[in-house]
Amino acid sequence: MTPYSFTRRNRNSRTLIILASVYVALLALVILFDAAWWVVGLLSLATLPAIWDVIQNTSAGVQLDRDAVRWFTGNRQGDIPVRDIDHFRFDTRWDFSVRVSIVLKSGKRIRLPDESLPPHRELETILKQAGFRVDRHHFTVF
């Protein structure tokens, strides 16, 4: 098995563009629609976690080698020995996002954090090349 590693930094141009767009839209609410400042202030609170991630420049990622699957996001991390993994489950949700879970031989499912994963098609290819079974379930709620 070829080792695989994926890392994403939160201080990137995409995040900065999204934050700038949100603040331009909030400013437009004030200027064009004379929105109350306190309403705009409340709406801007939703951006605080993203701002914190940009300031801290947190990272998230996943690593796969012959011994274990490891993931990290911010201060959280986890790992599962390869010998305990039965298969990976990819669930496509109604909003078209894809959630990835590790299904252990015991039947327990461990959901991997979305922010630590590469694009799902790339991950599926890597996992299949590594010899793992990948189950896809479309439009599930669980």
- 14-27 confidence digits (pLDDT tens): 899 999 999 999 99
Enter the CATH code of domain 4-8+60-138: 2.30.29.30
With CA atoms as reference, report the closest residue to 90 among 32, 134, 35, 27: 134
| pLDDT per position as a tens digit, 87-119 | 999 999 988 999 999 999 999 999 999 989 999
| pLDDT per position as a tens digit, 40-66 | 999 999 999 999 989 998 899 999 999
Annotated domain spans of the chain = 4-8+60-138, 9-56
Whether 66 contacts 82, CB under 8 Å? yes
What pTM did the predictor assign?
Answer: 0.76
Residue 75: the pLDDT is: 84
